[in-house]
Structure 1
């Protein structure tokens, strides 16, 4: 669909097809740290054919023939993830999709998510949080390690579920075990995919961290959680240092989203070597 004119160049919004995968990858790779989540989704799932009415799609803004912005659409708006760019570019895509997409959840750079909310939300978000995106490379790492951090196993699931639920409660102030019938299945899937690491102490799991997204460009960590009775013992800083050192032996960078008001986690991230980047926003609707 032709949406506007800019410098005599047509601006169009189109659903991206497999033929656009290299253009999309090149767009995202211009700012890999702020596009790691999308780069991971792209590497894991690719681009579906435009005639495929499956569980996700990508939409792009083209200035002439050049892709200048992109938006991942999970389902009919269950999760929206914009590429890292200014809000105006994302707003063009959002306006074009206003009749077919209703935002249920979104995550990404704050100006881009703000544009999505303006165009695709009919009411006030149930939850809206701002985060700072921290990133680190191998050269920035401090000396913090804990070799006892290990991959979670399926037999850990009964002990792991309370930690996974606790992480969601801390972030979103809701109980996923009571509200989300698929939560346990998703926790189990991450364990099977070898994306969850845990620290065990005297037979008890006291810390967990997940790899939320991974590609050749890096990985995004999420869901850091220490059991309340075991906080202030250094577990978070040592385990964050451990998994960062391990992953950076084969990846160029890691990112971690830290809520703006979470000074404790921000201090831990900085001590490990993470540097603060631009502001992100997470939105959930009813």
Structure 2
């Protein structure tokens, strides 16, 4: 009896089918869709494999397996199949992240083999907006970081990552992969900051961009400058760029325990539409 489902690495020639699946949930899938739009499905350029779950020969669900393990439009049966493939392969990722329900299911299968995790953030509200803020004036000093300003912005990026994730991005490979990612965002004009006296006091990046949605990440205010409203006016400025020049919808996800950040995002017009989950190793 022929099986009606299968799981395998998708072929580069299946790009249109992959984009069609990613397009079913353009906000949830923005980060990986952005990479696929830029790099196609070649594993080296993409930075990882794209696994497909097929039903009667048709691609239905995806899972990105690189530095992160990310279920994409993954139904329960696909999640089980992806978990089995990941278990057999062994853990190669530094995190599992994605929409909360399939990510929780994926982790439930993998935890007996990969656990314990360093941290599990089970609910990270996903927020979106389609409008530039009306009641918050964009900070006129927030601007794009130039390619020759990597040395200026990198320490702020490292500080944000370390504060958010709990480990330095410079560990392991000396930061080569992380610095490359920061350089990619700067080079593409998606890194923004307010600079005072040679110091970054606010920063954020448009970390992913597709024709349908973009995702803002890395929002950070220097500790000595917190409580001055820089995050609100800075986010308003970044949203102006994002919505006018990049995509019709801007999104982000935030830790549920970060009440201050969630309040800031609501004040600049974001609303909650779902939740992500992250498992950090």
TM-score scaled to structure 2, two decimals? 0.87
1:166 Cα deviation from its structure 2 partner? 1.8
**Cα separation, 1, equivalents of 2:202 and 2:226:** 9
The answer as to whether partners of 2:129 and 2:271 remain within 8 angstroms in 1 is yes
Q: Residue 116 of structure 1 aligns with which residue?
A: 106
**Cα separation, 1, equivalents of 2:180 and 2:35:** 19
The reply on whether 1:48 has 2:42 as its aligned counterpart is: yes
1:264 Cα deviation from its structure 2 partner? 0.7
**Cα separation, 2, equivalents of 1:215 and 1:73:** 20
Change over 3 Å in CA distance of 1:249–1:190 after alignment to 2:
closer
**Cα separation, 1, equivalents of 2:233 and 2:42:** 40
Change over 3 Å in CA distance of 1:274–1:44 after alignment to 2:
same
The answer as to whether partners of 1:146 and 1:238 remain within 8 angstroms in 2 is yes
**Cα separation, 2, equivalents of 1:213 and 1:71:** 17
**Cα separation, 1, equivalents of 2:231 and 2:135:** 14
Q: Residue 14 of structure 1 aligns with which residue?
A: 8
1:239-263 Cα shifts (integer Å, max 9, x gaps): 1111112221141111111111011
The reply on whether 1:94 has 2:90 as its aligned counterpart is: no
1:180 Cα deviation from its structure 2 partner? 5.3
The answer as to whether partners of 2:96 and 2:279 remain within 8 angstroms in 1 is yes
Q: Residue 187 of structure 2 aligns with which residue?
A: 192
**Cα separation, 1, equivalents of 2:59 and 2:68:** 21
The reply on whether 1:204 has 2:204 as its aligned counterpart is: no
**Cα separation, 1, equivalents of 2:221 and 2:146:** 18
Q: Residue 120 of structure 2 aligns with which residue?
A: 128
Q: Residue 150 of structure 1 aligns with which residue?
A: 143
**Cα separation, 2, equivalents of 1:169 and 1:179:** 14
Q: What secondary structure sits across from 1:34 in the alignment?
A: coil
The answer as to whether partners of 2:39 and 2:45 remain within 8 angstroms in 1 is no
Change over 3 Å in CA distance of 1:174–1:55 after alignment to 2:
closer
Change over 3 Å in CA distance of 1:180–1:198 after alignment to 2:
farther
Q: Residue 254 of structure 1 aligns with which residue?
A: 250
The answer as to whether partners of 1:142 and 1:271 remain within 8 angstroms in 2 is no
Change over 3 Å in CA distance of 1:38–1:119 after alignment to 2:
same
- Equivalent in 169, 174, 185 of residue 181 of structure 1: 174
**Cα separation, 2, equivalents of 1:24 and 1:240:** 32
Q: Residue 236 of structure 2 aligns with which residue?
A: 241
Change over 3 Å in CA distance of 1:97–1:172 after alignment to 2:
closer
1:198 Cα deviation from its structure 2 partner? 0.6
Greater alpha carbon shift after TM alignment, 102-111 vs 253-262: 102-111
The reply on whether 1:271 has 2:267 as its aligned counterpart is: yes
1:40 Cα deviation from its structure 2 partner? 0.6
**Cα separation, 1, equivalents of 2:214 and 2:75:** 23
- Runs of 5+ unmatched residues, structure 1: none
When the two chains are superposed, the root-mean-square deviation of aligned CA atoms in Å is 2.4
Change over 3 Å in CA distance of 1:163–1:112 after alignment to 2:
same
How many residues align? The count is 272
Change over 3 Å in CA distance of 1:164–1:180 after alignment to 2:
farther
Q: What secondary structure sits across from 2:70 in the alignment?
A: strand
